[in-house]
A and B are shown apart, each in its own frame.
Chain A
Amino acid sequence: MKRNLFLKILFSYLVIVSLSFFILDLLIKNEIKKVMTGKIEAELLTYAELLNLNSAQKMSDQLKQIARISSSRVTLVDAQGKVFADSEKDIAKMENHLNRPELQEAKLRGKGKSIRFSSSIGIDMLYVAITIKEGSEIKGYVRLARPLDDVQSMIEKVYQSIFLAMMIVTVIALVIALIFSYRLSAPIRAMERFTERLRQGHPVGTLLLETADETKKLADNINYLLDELQSQIRLANEEKSKLMTAFTSMTEGVLILNTEDKIEFVNQALSNILSEQYGDINGKTLMEAFRSVDLQKAFLEFKETRINVSREITLGNIEPVILNVSISAVQGHPEEEKTMIVFHDVTRLKKLEKIRIDFVANVTHEIRTPLTAIIGYLETIKAGAINNINETKKFIDIILKQAERLNRLVEDLLTISKIELNEIRFNFENVFLSDAVTNVISIVEKKATSKKITIENNMPEKLRPVRADRDRLTQILVNVLDNAVKFTPESGKVIIAADETDAHSVVSIIDTGIGVPKDEIQRLGERFYRVDKTRSRDLGGTGLGLSIVKHLMIAHGGRMEIESQFGRGTKVSLFFPLHKV
């Protein structure tokens, strides 16, 4: 950069210098020639006139002297052109001179001159001639000739000085060019360094220049652009971080495909939904990553129509995830459209929907069963059985039993909905779990004895009291214990144990009953959920017992956990929170 600038400036200087010398040369050379020649000419003419003052004989005699004084060659020519005297050459060998231009000119105007290249000496010669007259008759000519080497040497001398001057000027030009280019390029270099550092991404401040010319303006512009750029970058970064935060914190899974349909971005939520099952899917195609025929079909449909596609797909066989997928284009450059796919996990929603539908179906079913029985027996009585007192008594017993069951059902339903609506008043007090358990055992003992089931109370005496509503606590324990007795075959065993941790008192009711299949355990708290649909209704349950326990435990700030082995027995653990002393 600097070198370039320097060379450019130097070159232009040199052009100017040499051009001026060239013109100088043109002008001076001719001028010098003209002036010198004129001077010599006048001198020679003077000598010729002086010579002409004498007679012809005298002239011949004085020839050599004149030639020496005037340092020129003197030739006398007669009117016919015959040379009759010459200061240097032998006249006998000389040819007729009448046709020489200087003589011709003299013949016409009285004096003449001519500059010719003398082949004998090898330089330009100046010839001057005047006429020798007697009256008006031309008797002959006097001619003086002098080589012009004086002029030449004079010119050479001048040229020498000019050359010297040129050398000096060139050196000065070189120095000036050096200084000038340095001064000129210094700000440019500063800007260059500045922009270079900027390009490499080093932090830069503002560009400061000490000049006040155009470069200063340029520097100002650079500073301005830099400011613009930085604020743009800041803005873009802010936008980006906003988007990234949105993407990472949203519950929907987001995936972006690049122009080659490969996965470019996956947000945290989607990774969670996929739960590491699919590994690192970045850089893969949709098909490679998900292997879902439905998803691929939806994507192909989108690619063909470029219209947003929304679809419900199921991923995985063992633990299926139901996803609501919507595919749309990311508006960018027209040539490179990316695709965004949003995954909405609706597995839970679908499950809840199913529970709700099941609930409605269950409620109607549970209510209808006793009603059908009641109506059926009432109709029988009406149709004539009323006359048979014994039969009627039996029927009324059944009707009563069914009505009681209906009542129980409605009461249970009411309890649940009250708990759910927070309408139940809890009267919390300090209760000793061992007291409550002893109390409950006495309630279910009768039923247990009839099935020959032993209830083993392993409650430690020294448990800290828990905060609970005494009646609700009894309800919880009755429900669980009743279940345990109900689902344990004859001569089985129910064990009640308790444990205490820092945060909880845990009451466990363990039975040797029929147990629950593993994949149904988590559905146990659902309303009306029955593991064995036919059997449990025979046992007189409403299908709401555990659901009520679950809700009441939550209301007490605790929880219920169930472990079970199918065919071996079930363990229900009730976690009551302990308040820190």
Chain B
Amino acid sequence: MSVAALPGRASPGRRPNYRLRKVLVEVGSALLGLVILVWSLIPVYNMVFIALDPNGFDESAGVLWPGHATLDAFIGLWTGEVDDVEFFWQQFGNSAYIGLIVMVLTVLVGSFASFAVSRLRLAREWMLNDIALLTYIIPSSTLVIPFYRIMNQYGLMDNPWAVIGCEVAFATPYAILVLQQAGKLIPLELDDAARIDGASVWQVYLKIYVPLMAPALAAVGTYALLFAWNDYLYQYLFLTSNHHATLAVGLEQIFDDDDSPYNYLMAMSVVYSIPPIAIFYALRRYMASGLTGGGVKG
């Protein structure tokens, strides 16, 4: 007898209030859905609303929609003819450069390490996990102070690679944890069979590990990109010149300036938000299972 058929058959007859309960559940979830929708979108709406305001002062005008909504701020960003935003595209490029390199390096470094330990059986899996977790003992917001002195000593101030190195170091531990869990779902026999058929270690990595781990790798890559895109502290402290500053730093500079045009600031914020959103939604279907992998029982 099919188990799946049971609830449908048993319910209406046995419980007279079944219908009522069903309606209540639907109404309840519709209400909850409405709350979630408002909760998720209000800050985004606020951002867009200020960006569309022609004067940049409606954020404190007690209105819910700018009187004369205009795309002037976005056009100004595009043409770069406004004083405060002349570095916008430069900074946007710097953010993208750092974000993409952190993404690629985290995926490579993390997957190499996880592959060596759990697939080539170099060491027990917990050893790599423990090393990765050691990174978390001192908060990264504290480590930035010794880092600041180190970068000064080695002449790495105002160098994007100083930021990239730190961000890869802080993003890789979580990447390794996710990859280690996901890797448990792929039988080691696959590797062994390939090796017997004459595949080299590199071929096993490229032809077996990477394709089968694609969801986890996509999840880890997205995580690393967002990590770099979210970071402010390291970029603010290490990237001192306008030439190398990222948008996170640029936004803060405009924010600090008292008569800065807030509509431009929020227009910059909207544009700054587009790449991670686009990349996330593009990779989303690959990573459905990737974030936890085997973590359920873990």
Question: Do A and B share a complex?
Answer: no
Residues of B within 8 A of A (CB): none
Interface residues of A (CB under 8 A from B): none
